[in-house]
Amino acid sequence: MKVEIFRRTVKDRKRGNSYELLYHLKKGIEVAGDEAIIVNENRSGPTVEGEMVPTAPMAAMFGYGGDKQMHHTKGRRRELADNCRAKKIPLITFDGGLLSSFGNVSTSPDHHFRVSLYTPMNDGNFLSDNSPSDRWNMLVKKFNVKYQPWRKSNQEDPIIFVLQPKDNWSMNELDPIDWFKDVYEKLRPATSRRFIVRPHPNNVSNILQRKDELPDDVELQYTQKNFVGDEKKYYRFHFQEAISNAHAVVTHNSTASVDSCIRGIPTFCTSNLALCWNVCNKDLNDIETPKTPDRTQWVNDLGYKLWSIKEIQDGTVYKRFKLKLGLK
């Protein structure tokens, strides 16, 4: 079987983890005995008509794009996904980001990526429903994941708001300050707790420039204005420390919500794209009495959403998706 890997779903600079991942997949497909084609490997510049139209029985890309992001790399991703759906062609999609505060970061040699069909968020199909616990147990050991019971808070414990950049594809051009002010208006009458706003590590400087737009009773939490090298990694790891005494975490659909749910902090999400949607709170009116559902099957399924570079290179991931989809 032939698989088309769309190289221009990553930036044209031809380097970086996402770029290399597509070539890891190519190797895995070939190890499995099938043909892998890198589509438009050397093209750069504006997208041309027909560039993102698949012709093989299966396609692959990195990331995704919102329906308001029809430009550049995100636009190409969205166009490819729409074309694959229209032609009923399976589209394997990769992304990172889960368990980053536990150490699963892109600079790790054992980074585990999300792998799904069409989109790497909750509306994608990871083929992971009702999975056993083996892979989750492996991830807990590998990254020293602190999987804890739901925390019972004290009255003085704050609420942590996790922001995302506007250009993050899962935000789909939703402005993070606008999002926060809308949530603030709904939550402030319901609770007197401290509100702590935590910018995304890629967006700290932008939020600081707009801090005057935030209500006076809001605290900003960050470790650096501009990150260099390991400082960004530290900020991600600092998340576990930051939420350790939180009453709740509130976010739109940040992957940090997965980490907070694992840590046992009741988490509220305002978008059903959040990967913790099955175990998070959706109703902001429950802010003082959050629900604490059983997470056992959710974490087991999570283990089958994440796959290592080695498993991508050796064909494990490709063969699994091919088998699950009944392709020959």
Decide if 2-128+305-324 and 159-296 have a common fold: yes
Give pLDDT, residue 155: 94
Give pLDDT, residue 106: 81
- Three-state SS for the chain is CEEEEEHHHCCCCCCCHHHHHHHHHHHHHHHCCCEEEEECCCCCCCCCCCCCCCCCCEEEEECCCCCCCCCHHHHHHHHHHHHHHHHCCCEEEEECCCCHHHCCCCCCCCCEEEEEECCCCCCCECCCCCCCCHHHHHHHHHHCCCCCCCCCCCCCCCEEEECCCCCCCCCCCCCHHHHHHHHHHHHHHHCCCCEEEECCCCCHHHHHHCHHHCCCCEEECCCCCCCCCHHHHHHHHHHHHHHCCCCEEEECCCCHHHHHHHCCCCEEECCCCCCCCCCCECCHHHCCCCCCCCCHHHHHHHHCCEEEHHHHHCCHHHHHHHHHCCCC
Residue 328 token pair:
């020959």
The CB-side HSE value for 218 (13 A sphere, CA atoms) comes to: 23
Where does 2-128+305-324 sit in CATH, by number?
Answer: 3.40.50
Q: Please check whether residue 120 is in contact with residue 236, taking contact to mean a CB–CB distance below 8 angstroms.
A: no
Give pLDDT, residue 70: 63
Low-confidence ranges of the chain (pLDDT < 50): 225, 227, 231-232, 234-235
Q: Please check whether residue 113 is in contact with residue 312, taking contact to mean a CB–CB distance below 8 angstroms.
A: yes
Give pLDDT, residue 275: 97
Q: Please check whether residue 104 is in contact with residue 256, taking contact to mean a CB–CB distance below 8 angstroms.
A: no
Q: Please check whether residue 182 is in contact with residue 214, taking contact to mean a CB–CB distance below 8 angstroms.
A: no
Q: Please check whether residue 304 is in contact with residue 113, taking contact to mean a CB–CB distance below 8 angstroms.
A: no
Give pLDDT, residue 93: 97
Domain parsing of the chain, residue ranges = 2-128+305-324, 159-296
How many other β-carbons are positioned within 10 Å of the β-carbon of residue 101? 26
Domain 159-296 grouped into CATH 3.30.710: no
